[in-house]
Amino acid sequence: MSEIKLEKLDDNRWLLPRSGGMKVPGVIYANEKIHQLLKSDESTRQVANVAHLPGIVNYSLAMPDIHWGYGFPIGGVAAFDLAAGIVSPGGVGYDINCGCRLVGTKLALADVQERIQDLTTALYKHIPSGVGSTGQVKLSGKDQKKVLEEGSKWAVKAGFGSLDDLEATEDGGAIEGADPDQVSARALERGKQQLGTLGSGNHFLEIEVVQEIFDEAAAEAFGLHKGQIVIMIHSGSRGLGYQICDDYLALMVKHAPETGIELPDRQLACAYLNSQRGRNYLAAMACGANYAWANRQLLMHRTREIFEKTLRMAPRELGMRLVYDVCHNIAKIESFNIGGSMKKLCVHRKGATRAYPAGHEAVPARYRAVGQPVLIPGDMGSGSYVLVGQPKAMEETFGSACHGAGRVMSRTQATKASRGRSISRELAEQGVLVMAGSRGTLSEEMPEAYKNLHDVVQVMHDAGIAKKVARLKALSCIKG
């Protein structure tokens, strides 16, 4: 149980006052209901721990999906000065660039209602999922290097998509500065056969329908309308990203005494951004991020092929197109107004997503008049939300919003709580068809294991960080 006392700033924000070795205060985005949940875990302590790190700017932040993570809380956001600050693998996470991709279609609910079972079965059969799954694309050493350097661009050049997909992907589907020489042989080996695979745990592919529109102008800009069929893909950098994180955490723990940084938790092992070790990690992390973008690009391409074949539709009839792809679990060099002048910072978003407003040059031209799409998936029964970034995000959260509902149960707790139940049958009764590699996955990911998605999203909306655009209802879900 956390003993940290939070002070209420307003209906959606709580202050964690500076104390001890904290260099800045903490701010947690939460309504009263979510605040009560925080009393039963230690994630607020992690917000305080992050505030001890050198070069942290303004606040140690947490989004309303906050829960316990490795080092940083999941839902944690922190920005660091490039000259005096650090980069921490625990502030990025093990699944580098775990992210979401929303895909629109020309289909209406009536077009697929009788074919959901066929589509879901075909997706489950032909899209590799689960622990250790391997994809259809086997990479040579030369090709893998190009994937790590080019990300989605490599996939498009290889015939898995179009140039339009790159425009609708954060950072065009590739971070600059990726250096495969900073990735271990073990990580490279783990990534060779996993491109185009969904993975396990909370990763999924869902067929959804647009259930409600909140902002007509933004929805029109994003190409969304009520009753439309869309697909949400949630996956990341697979074993390659995990190994990169593991390798650099071990390295930074080993060399921690050399930095002179006093850490309240060894899981916050880090390196100064201007050190060789810090630069090497960022170069390796970029490789993991680029691999994840290529992975989601292949997953989308395969999904398109499966829809076309199952529904016997031509590409033009199906009209499948990428609405947007956002990444979570990342550290990026970005510019913000700090004290009246623009300053480059290294922003860690762990279980958080970018939420840039209208007019920002990083927002795709097609969306710049309204702002960046923000994709917030929920548990298997809740569907998802589409939001749009707001100017206040640039003032308060370094252009960041939450990335999902956020767990309230550990996987072990969820497994115990679901004993004797059929999660798939319960979801079917709610109108959601689920196919998974094991009953264990469904138990760990059962809806009650997560916060109420609507509460989490409403906090972001009411706080003015990201505005609700559309609510999506899940029709079917495949998991590893």
Q: Are 200 and 70 in contact (CB under 8 A)?
A: no
pLDDT of residue 128: 83
How many of the other CB atoms lie within 10 Å of CB of 462? Answer: 15
Q: Are 175 and 290 in contact (CB under 8 A)?
A: yes
Residue 374's DSSP bridge partners are 387
Shortest CA distance to 381 belongs to which of 448, 455, 464?
448
**What is the reported pTM?**
0.96
Residue 439 belongs to some domain of the structure: no
Q: Are 289 and 282 in contact (CB under 8 A)?
A: no
Report the distance separating Cα 67 and Cα 42, nearest Å: 8
Q: Could you list the residue range(s) of the whole structural domain that residue 376 is in?
A: 7-408+450-479
Residue 190 belongs to some domain of the structure: yes
How many of the other CB atoms lie within 10 Å of CB of 159? Answer: 8
* 3-state SS, residue 25: coil
Tally of domains in the chain = 1
pLDDT of residue 308: 97
Residue 317 CB burial class (10 angstroms; 0-12, 13-18, ≥19): middle
**Helices assigned H by DSSP within 51-150:** 109-112, 116-126, 141-150
The answer for residues whose C-beta is within 8 angstroms of residue 416's C-beta and 6 or more apart is: none
Give the relative orientation of helices 276-311 and 238-254 as an angle to the nearest 10 degrees.
Answer: 170
Q: What CATH number is attached to the domain comprising 352?
A: 3.90.1860.10
pLDDT of residue 1: 42
Residue 444 belongs to some domain of the structure: no
How many of the other CB atoms lie within 10 Å of CB of 316? Answer: 7
Residue 141 belongs to some domain of the structure: yes
Report the distance separating Cα 367 and Cα 399, nearest Å: 16
Total length of the chain? 480
Residue 432 belongs to some domain of the structure: no
- Kindly tell me the sign of the dihedral angle through the C-alpha atoms of 243, 435, 377, 402: negative
- φ/ψ (deg, to 5) at 232: -115, 125
Residue 420 belongs to some domain of the structure: no
Residue 136 belongs to some domain of the structure: yes
- Catalytic residue of the set 234, 403, 454, 461: 403
CA atoms within 13 A on the CB side of 109: 12
* 3-state SS, residue 430: coil
Report the distance separating Cα 409 and Cα 379, nearest Å: 12
The answer for residues whose C-beta is within 8 angstroms of residue 11's C-beta and 6 or more apart is: 31, 32, 462
Residue 122 belongs to some domain of the structure: yes
Shortest CA distance to 12 belongs to which of 62, 57, 74, 77?
62
* DSSP state string for 130-175: STT---S-PPPHHHHHHHHHHTHHHHHHTTSS-HHHHHTBGGGG--
User: Distances from the Cα of 56 to the Cαs of 27, 88, 265, 333, 394, in angstroms?
Assistant: 13, 12, 16, 14, 16
Residue 403 catalytic? Answer: yes
Q: What stretches in the chain show pLDDT beneath 70?
A: 1-2, 130-131, 134-135
Shortest CA distance to 64 belongs to which of 412, 407, 372?
407
CA atoms within 13 A on the CB side of 112: 27
